[in-house]
Amino acid sequence: MSAISHVHDLVRRRTVDVHSLHGQFAELDQQREAASLGMWVFLVTEVMFFGGMITGYVAYRSAYPEAFRLGSIHMLFMAGTLNTAILITASLFMVLALHAAKLDNRKVLVWCLIAAMFLGICFLSIKGYEYWDHWVEHKVPGASFQWDGPDPRHAELFFVLYFFLTGFHALHMIIGVTAVGIIAYFANKGRYTPEYHNPVENVALYWHFVDIVWIFLYPMLYLIGHRHL
Amino acid sequence: MFPLWPTAASTTADNVDALYLFLISVTGAVTLMVIVIVVVFLFKYRHSKHPVADQVSGSIPLELTWSLVPLGIFMIFYAWGASIYMAEATPPRDSLQIYVIAKQWMWKLQHENGVREINTLHVPLDRDVRLTMISQDVIHSFWIPEFRVKADILPGRYTTLWFRANKTGTFMLNCAEFCGTLHSNMVGKVIVMDPAKYEAWLTGGGAMGSFAGTGQKLFQELGCATCHRFDTQGRGPNLVGVYNKPVLLSDGSTVTADDAYVRESILNPGAKVVAGFQPIMPSFQGIVTEDQLLSLVAYLKSISTPEQSEPVSNRPPVPKSGAPEVQ
Amino acid sequence: MATEVEVPQHITQEIPAAESDYLNSEYGIKSWLLSTDHKRIALLYLFSITVMFFVGGLFALIIRLELLTPKGDLVQADTYNKMFTMHGLVMIFFFLIPSIPNVLGNFLIPLMIGAKDVAFPKLNLMSWYVYNLGALMFVYTICTGGLDTGWTFYTPLSTGFASSNVVVGALSIFVVGFSSILTSINFIVTVHKLRAPGMTWGRLPLFVWASYATAVIIVLGTPLVAISMALVALERFFGIGFFDPLLGGDPLLFQHLFWFYSHPAVYVMILPGMGVISELVTCFSRKKVFGYSSMALAILGIAVFGFLVWAHHMFVAGISVYSAMVFSFLSYFVAVPSAIKVFNWTATMYRGSIYLLTPMLYALGFIGLFTIGGMTGLFLASLGIDVHVTDSYFVIAHFHYIMVGGMVTAFLGGIHFWWPKISGRMYPEMWGRIAAGTIFIGFNLTFFPQFVLGYLGMNRRYWEYAPQFQVLNVLSTAGASILGIGYLLPLAYFAWSLKYGPRASANPWNAAGLEWTVPSPPPTHNFKESPIVTTEAYNYEDLPRDIEIPREATVVGH
């Protein structure tokens, strides 16, 4: 492009940058690193949160392995596997979105975010279907729980863990989908540039974390009862 | 005058008090030393007397000393305390066995000869006493301050505590884990008697049958004997001589048939199935109380003492011709 | 010497207020409630936690009044159980944990490191609102049946048997924990990213080290109490079992999850205090701290070891003997860095030039009382003794020595020390000393008898007790009344000082630290330009030798 439009471009970016830099920071780079560090520290708290529940799972599974195996057989294996594929694909779209932000490709950025959002909603819908199925099959812990195998009490414990783990995960998914939606809206308005796209990076980080939690939950809940294919 | 030191009425109490006094001496001396040094500094280096501070800022040898010496002393505290604890965790053989069932807000104490007490526990002097305890509801804790022994009482699981009283008298029994409204009223008495008086008290309760006898009756009434026959023909394992012996399970692992195992097998039989047997035993959850469970434990113990059992094996019965019957 | 002490200018002469400081830059309630200035947020927190302190204190008052007599004759058993439960919860979660970090930490950390604000000022404000949400939920719990499970929420009592407002109560703790986490994230990033040029990690004031370590503990530990509370609430609300033995659940699992947080939490409730003490002892001995590196390492050591010892709260709970032995062993290790700190503070005073001004009185009180509290921790770590004294008044005395004798004392010492910086006014020194003395005497009278009571066999959480314990209980209650008066005094004279206290200069104590290089009170953006740091911390050899002792406040006008 011509020299003038190039300078014009730089000026536009500088103006945008100055608006994005907050007072306590000296440079955009410092601000970006701070925002990123903040999100990583927050994710540590999330690891500890899920870690507590996973500890509970480990404790009970080592005490009652057979009951847990039998409980796992009642999971909807296809739904869980499909959901895993969906979530990993959604993460791929988040990676592509971040890449597009770095390359100033607004259209690709917005569409990748929307794709991730859509896949997230698919995940939640399939999860909802699974919950409904468990309800109909009397596998929801509480008064309506029915179990006609051995060791009903510990089988019910498996389901308690299933609902708590996937329930908290789903809650985080809802937050994630909302966050991605908000980012998509601002991305569409041109808020993000190669110099400043912290929110995209940090929402992507959060999304990847929620994905990784699922990657732990899937084998813990779905694979311990099923034969390997 | 009000007391400042509790009576020591058990062998454990003597050990704990010795350690406590040792700790008071050492920590008291160090604390006093720190306070004295600080007060001396406050005087000697007050600004009106010592207007210019000398920027002494460190000394590795000194710091190493006051890190490692305390650590060494702490290891003594640790080792001594741990040895008392380990002894407390191992009831001696031939301990007198008593069962405790705690519930909001009272103590039920069951002697093996069948005598049952509420909120009071009679024990003989100079005899090891072992308590096997369980709660019917929330977590409680059995504390006899003058014996210096304490153990939490859990729902769903047995816990044990043992002591050897070495003074006669009446001593406090307090619940030491917050258990609801009348937690502070869940108190009782431990009465230590001379052995002769204790025997008299024990047998004076009238003939009510031993605790194990209660368990035996229950074993018949609940139909346990139908499957758990005293030969190798039953659908369930022969339970004579089983108590506290190793048992091979269907998944290949081995467990000891202790109190916890017995209780679990009655309430949740599918959890640990003996090798060679079908998982057909029904659960008695909701059908037996904690008292009844303990009586069954006592009964199984009684048919496992060396005098009573013949050499028995836990090998599965030889299957009858055709498939085993399943109920 | 008979010569007149020359009264320095900054005390008697009226100092014109700075052109614009953070207090007068904007007026109006909205400018406070929507402020993202870390200094204003610190004061918002000061207001909230002071209110909660007196709420918790009211519960304590009822406890001590009931315990004047062996019989339960003041309140009913259920009411008493609610009093001690809520006293514990309010004091721990709504007062102690936020106290130094959210008030002094918020105010001072950016100033101490040479920054204009924290890394995420809006998040900082949000933290305060999340705190208030949690506090509101807790007050709602108080008003709708209270909580009577003990602050430890042990299952199955809390999930299956308590008839109080457990679900909302547990969730209020969940929410206020979130507030701590947000503040801690802010502090960690601030210290990593916003230090001024030349302010290396090795030059940070120990208060910053302590605040940083505390923030790391909070980030790692608080989610566990969050999950514990969430599981209790879920189990109770939906009637399903996780800790329920009837479902094969294990009540001990709750205890492990709960104490995995709640033990490190007690280090959250002492490390910031230790940070304050390092600032006070150095200033009032006019000396650099003895063994700076060891002090910083000790802070980190306490934080790390603090995560390895949680089951020492469970020695009689039914854990295995071997497990208990490991936890007892490790518990002794966490005592070593604390001991190092006490010895190093003492060595800091050696050959210093000591001023017995109010902040120093609090620091000295801390050293004595924390030492006693810490020593009694050694008793509790010893398995044989713990079996006897756990769940008794011995434990209560131990933790009050550390939390009140330690942390609250340090908090008050810090408030006095930094009051001129925060408010621009000096507090009256004589009243400061009177309050410090009253608190010290009242505190010891309240809690020392409780060590004796515990060993004698008086249980904690008991509404009625055996009659032979009465005399010591009466002594304890007498002490509590004195303590209460001691706490009311600063409230009164700090308020008085806002209008009538002499104006303070930028550095009335001639103290080291970047916060003393800006005016009192500081301008909104702290520093006109980023300072460049070239000296180590506590560079007292470069500062004026003396502290000009503040005179009694005369009405100088405002």
Q: Does C145 touch chain B (CB under 8 A)?
A: no
For domain C40-538, give its CATH number from 1.10.10.60, 1.10.1740.10, 3.10.520.10, 1.20.210.10.
1.20.210.10
Question: For residue A204, with 0-12 CB atoms within 10 Å meaning exposed, 13-18 middle and 19 or more buried, which class applies?
Answer: buried
The predicted pLDDT at position A4 comes to 63
Instruction: With a cut of 50, list the residues of chain C below it in pLDDT.
Output: 1-4, 9-15, 552-558
- Could you tell me which of C25, C41, C42 has the C-alpha nearest to residue C33? C41
Judging contacts by C-beta atoms under 8 Å, the chain B residues touching residue A69 are none
Q: Does C434 touch chain B (CB under 8 A)?
A: no
Q: Where are the domains positioned within chain A? A: 40-223
The predicted pLDDT at position C492 comes to 96
Q: State in words which class domain A40-223 has.
A: mainly alpha
Judging contacts by C-beta atoms under 8 Å, the chain B residues touching residue C471 are 2
Is B41–C335 a contact, with Cβ atoms under 8 angstroms apart?
no
Is C219–A44 a contact, with Cβ atoms under 8 angstroms apart?
yes
Please give the share of chain B, as a percent, with pLDDT higher than 70.
Answer: 92
Token pair for residue A89? 């694909």
CA triple C377-C379-C383, angle to 5 deg: 115
Amino acid at C241: G
Is B268–A154 a contact, with Cβ atoms under 8 angstroms apart?
yes
Say which of B251, B268, B279 has its CB closest to residue A153: B268
Minimal-distance CA residue of chain C relative to A60: C249
Q: How is domain B7-43+65-207 classified at the architecture level of CATH?
A: Sandwich (2.60)
C504 Rama class: left (phi>0) / alpha (psi -120 to 50) / beta = beta
State the smallest CA–CA distance between residue A151 and chain B in angstroms: 5
Q: Where are the domains positioned within chain B? A: 7-43+65-207, 211-302
The string of DSSP codes covering B254-317 is EEE--HHHHHHHHH-TTSSPBTTS-S-PPP-TTTS-HHHHHHHHHHHHHTTSTTTPPP---PPP
* Angle between helix B259-267 and helix B290-302 axes, rounded to 10 deg: 120
B91-115 as b/e, with b when 16 or more CB fall inside 10 Å? beeebbbbbbbbbbbbbbbbbbebb
Residue C516 is classified by DSSP as: G
- Pairwise CA distance, residues A83 & A222, whole Å: 11
Judging contacts by C-beta atoms under 8 Å, the chain C residues touching residue A30 are 193-194
Measured distance between the N- and C-terminal CA atoms of chain B, rounded to whole angstroms: 70
Is A150–B279 a contact, with Cβ atoms under 8 angstroms apart?
yes
Is A153–B251 a contact, with Cβ atoms under 8 angstroms apart?
no
* Helix, strand or coil, per DSSP, at residue C145: coil
The predicted pLDDT at position A61 comes to 93
Say which of B83, B137, B152 has its CB closest to residue C317: B152
Tell me which of B157, B266, B268, B277 to substitute to probe the interface with A (most A C-beta atoms closer than 10 Å): B268
The predicted pLDDT at position C19 comes to 67
The predicted pLDDT at position A21 comes to 80
Judging contacts by C-beta atoms under 8 Å, the chain A residues touching residue B270 are 149-151
Q: How confident is the model at residue B161 (pLDDT cuts 50, 70, 90)?
A: very high
The predicted pLDDT at position A216 comes to 96
**Mean predicted confidence (pLDDT) in A99-113:** 95
Q: What separation in angstroms does the CA of B163 have from each of A20, B91, B123, B258, C5?
A: 72, 8, 10, 21, 70
The predicted pLDDT at position C550 comes to 57
Token pair for residue C324? 């208990």
Judging contacts by C-beta atoms under 8 Å, the chain A residues touching residue B268 are 151, 153-154
**Mean predicted confidence (pLDDT) in A189-198:** 91
Q: State in words which class domain B211-302 has.
A: mainly alpha
Judging contacts by C-beta atoms under 8 Å, the chain B residues touching residue C395 are none
The predicted pLDDT at position A229 comes to 46
**For B209-233, what is each residue's pLDDT tens digit?**
788 889 999 999 999 998 998 888 8
**For A27-44, what is each residue's pLDDT tens digit?**
888 999 999 999 999 999
- Pairwise CA distance, residues C308 & C286, whole Å: 37
Judging contacts by C-beta atoms under 8 Å, the chain A residues touching residue C192 are 34, 37
Q: Which helix (H) or strand (E) holds C260?
A: helix C251-268
Q: Where are the domains positioned within chain C? A: 40-538
The predicted pLDDT at position C551 comes to 53
CA atoms within a 13 Å half-sphere pointing along the CA-CB vector of C263:
23
Q: Are C217 and C267 in contact (CB under 8 A)?
A: yes
* Among the ranges given (A140-154, B78-92, C153-167), the one the predictor scored with the smallest mean pLDDT: A140-154
Q: How confident is the model at residue B324 (pLDDT cuts 50, 70, 90)?
A: very low
Residue B319 is classified by DSSP as: P
Task: Inform me whether the pLDDT recorded for B316 exceeds 90.
Answer: no
The predicted pLDDT at position B320 comes to 41
Q: Are A78 and A130 in contact (CB under 8 A)?
A: no
State the smallest CA–CA distance between residue C35 and chain A in angstroms: 14
State the smallest CA–CA distance between residue A21 and chain C in angstroms: 12
The predicted pLDDT at position C556 comes to 38
Domains B7-43+65-207 and B211-302 share a fold: no
